Amino acid sequence: MSKNGLVLHLAKIAGISGAEAHLLSLLPDLKQRGWNVRMLMLHEQEPGAREFARALEERGIEVDDISLAADVDPFAFLRLSGYLARHRPAILHTHLVHADVYGQLAGSIVRIPFRLSTKHGFNEFREGRPFALADRTVASLAHVHVAISRGLARYLAETEGFDERSFEIVHYGIGEGPEPPPYEGDGKNVLCIGRLIPIKGHIVLLRALAEARKEVPDLRLEVAGRGVLGPALRALVRELGLDDAVSFLGFVSPIQRVIEQSAGVVVPSLGEGFGLVALEAMERARPVIAAEIGGLGELVVDGETGYLVPVAEVEPLARALVALTTDPQRASELGRAGRRRALTAFAEHRCADRTELLYRARNGSTG
């Protein structure tokens, strides 16, 4: 596949989280390697979409956009079809559900020569049979299916009936920041980063924190992120008597600063396609406690870079919190090993390397 043809990435954007951070890293890297890359953003006028567009443009990537009046918007589909007919990309790479539906359908009608679809995450709606059938039907229009972890591919096979072996695996990557400062606190401060929504597992974490504080009374938790579950989590904090132990930080950027101020990062998710937060913590040399689900089990090596615990179980998570916060030397060793793993197994260039291989694989054949 020649690098001269347009490579168009399509995604519905509402803000910057894992998938969007991935695009902010991948697209400039591909452009630097000589690919003619462009972004087409679907959105519903969210402020986070504009923030993403500005960030990508600052990195030298052209961004076009199409607004959606609703999840199902026939006029937006027509505008997208017209856009594809005018620009005639050689490669169309869609991300997330809306872009898959709109992009793979329109790309098939317009006969874009090479179409890829990347799946990024666990979602509750995937577990309904009508959605599973629709998603597999749309997916059949793509030439290449990509998952961001083997765990996500397995989840899609179990919940939607995909063939796990049909997915190409392209992990997210991370760049090397400056050498992280050593942790200077008392070792009792842990951090959880993520949207305040049920699938992120905050309720399990708060209950585990209450258990762990029976052994480590000065154990503290900072929670970074916003979301619909905020009021319920604050109420649970009061119910568990954790008012003096939990701080809600809201949205934090850059996140590296608060990671460096923590003794470790906890990722208690009930479902996680990859676990970029865990990788960011590892790059900053902080140990990670993570639920063993999705991509997290591919990132964190239990007992080497942190601790893996069963999903949604309070007691194992509480024991891991105690282990992390009562042995600062061990925690430091785990953090250093995590940074080495992040910068080797998940180096930023490896993601672009793998993506390039997929782009070249079809050698210009048509669908």
The domain limits of the chain are 6-173+347-361, 189-345
Q: Find the mean pLDDT for residues 122-146.
A: 89
- The helix (run of H) or strand (run of E) holding residue 168 is strand 167-169
DSSP 3-state of 214 = coil
DSSP string for residues in 37-54? EEEEEEESS-HHHHHHHH
Do 6-173+347-361 and 189-345 fold alike per CATH?
yes
Least confident of 111-115, 123-127, 235-239, 283-287: 123-127
- Residue 110, CA distances (Å) to 86, 103, 115, 134 in order: 10, 10, 11, 20
Q: Is the pLDDT of residue 101 over 60?
A: yes
Q: Find the mean pLDDT for residues 262-288.
A: 97
Q: What pLDDT is attached to residue 365?
A: 42
The answer to whether the beta carbons of residues 41 and 49 sit under 8 Å apart is yes
**pTM recorded for the entire structure:** 0.93
Residue that has been written with the tokens 């199409």 in this structure = 66
Q: If you ran DSSP here, which 8-state letter would residue 262 be given? A: S
- Name the band, by pLDDT with cuts 50, 70 and 90, for residue 128: confident
- Name the band, by pLDDT with cuts 50, 70 and 90, for residue 287: very high
Half-sphere exposure of 84 (CA within 13 A, CB side): 27
* Residues making up the chain, counted from first to last: 367
CA distance linking residue 257 with residue 260, whole number of Å: 5
Residue that has been written with the tokens 């990557």 in this structure = 173
Give Rg (Cα) of the chain. 21
- Name the band, by pLDDT with cuts 50, 70 and 90, for residue 4: confident
CA distance linking residue 100 with residue 96, whole number of Å: 6
The answer to whether the beta carbons of residues 138 and 280 sit under 8 Å apart is no
Q: What pLDDT is attached to residue 253?
A: 86
CA distance linking residue 268 with residue 364, whole number of Å: 43
Sheet strand arrangement including 114-119: 62-67, 36-43, 6-12, 91-95, 114-119, 144-147, 167-169
DSSP string for residues in 179-225? PPPPP-S-S-EEEEES-SSGGG-HHHHHHHHHHHTTT-TT-EEEEE-
- The helix (run of H) or strand (run of E) holding residue 289 is strand 288-291
- Name the band, by pLDDT with cuts 50, 70 and 90, for residue 2: low
**Does the domain made of 6-173+347-361 have the CATH classification 3.40.50.2000?**
yes
Distance in Å from the first CA to the final CA of the chain: 14
* Class of CATH domain 189-345: alpha beta
The answer to whether the beta carbons of residues 168 and 156 sit under 8 Å apart is no
